[in-house]
Amino acid sequence: MATTKHSNTPSGDRRVRRTRAALARALIQLVEERDLSRISVSDVAERAGVSRTAFYDHYRNVHELAEAACTAMIDDLIQSLPTPDTDVKTLAPEATKSLQAFFTSLAEHAGLYRSLLGPQGSAHVADHIRRRSTATIHDRLRRAAAGGDLPQYAGSPRDIPHDVPAAFTAGALLGVANDWLQRGCPRSPAEMAALTWPLFSALYRLDTGTHT
| Closest CA relative to residue 116, chosen from 69, 158, 79, 77 | 69
73 pLDDT band, cuts 50/70/90, is low
Sign of the CA dihedral with 144 first, then 150, 152, and 158 last: negative
How far apart (Å, rounded) are the C-alpha atoms in residues 138 and 135? 5
**Cβ neighbours of residue 66 closer than 8 Å, sequence gap 6 or more:** 27, 36, 112, 115, 116, 122, 125
How far apart (Å, rounded) are the C-alpha atoms in residues 101 and 80? 10
How far apart (Å, rounded) are the C-alpha atoms in residues 4 and 66? 11
pLDDT at 42: 97
- Tens of pLDDT, residue by residue over 131-144, are 877 877 777 666 66
pLDDT at 100: 87
Q: Which has the minimum average pLDDT: 45-49, 122-126, 156-160, 176-180?
A: 156-160
Q: Which CATH topology does 14-64 take?
A: Arc Repressor Mutant, subunit A (1.10.10)
pLDDT at 114: 84
Would the pLDDT of 148 be above 60? no
Alpha carbon 102 to its chain centroid, in Å, reads 9
DSSP string for residues in 1-53: -------SS-TT-HHHHHHHHHHHHHHHHHHTTS-GGG--HHHHHHHHT--HH
pLDDT at 1: 43
Mean pLDDT over 95-99 rounds to 81
pLDDT at 56: 96
184 pLDDT band, cuts 50/70/90, is very high
Q: Could you tell me the CA-to-CA distances from 190 to 32, 47, 85, 146, 202 in Å, in that order?
A: 24, 34, 22, 32, 19
CB contact at 8 A, 90 and 96: no
How far apart (Å, rounded) are the C-alpha atoms in residues 152 and 140? 8
**What value does the mean pLDDT of the chain take?**
77
- Tens of pLDDT, residue by residue over 116-132, are 787 777 777 778 777 87
Domain layout of the chain by residue ranges: 14-64, 67-208
Mean pLDDT over 161-166 rounds to 77
Q: Could you tell me the CA-to-CA distances from 89 to 145, 169, 193, 197 in Å, in that order?
A: 18, 20, 15, 12
How far apart (Å, rounded) are the C-alpha atoms in residues 202 and 190? 19
Instruction: For the chain, give the percent of residues with pLDDT over 70.
Output: 69
CB contact at 8 A, 82 and 98: yes
pLDDT at 2: 45
Mean pLDDT over 18-39 rounds to 89
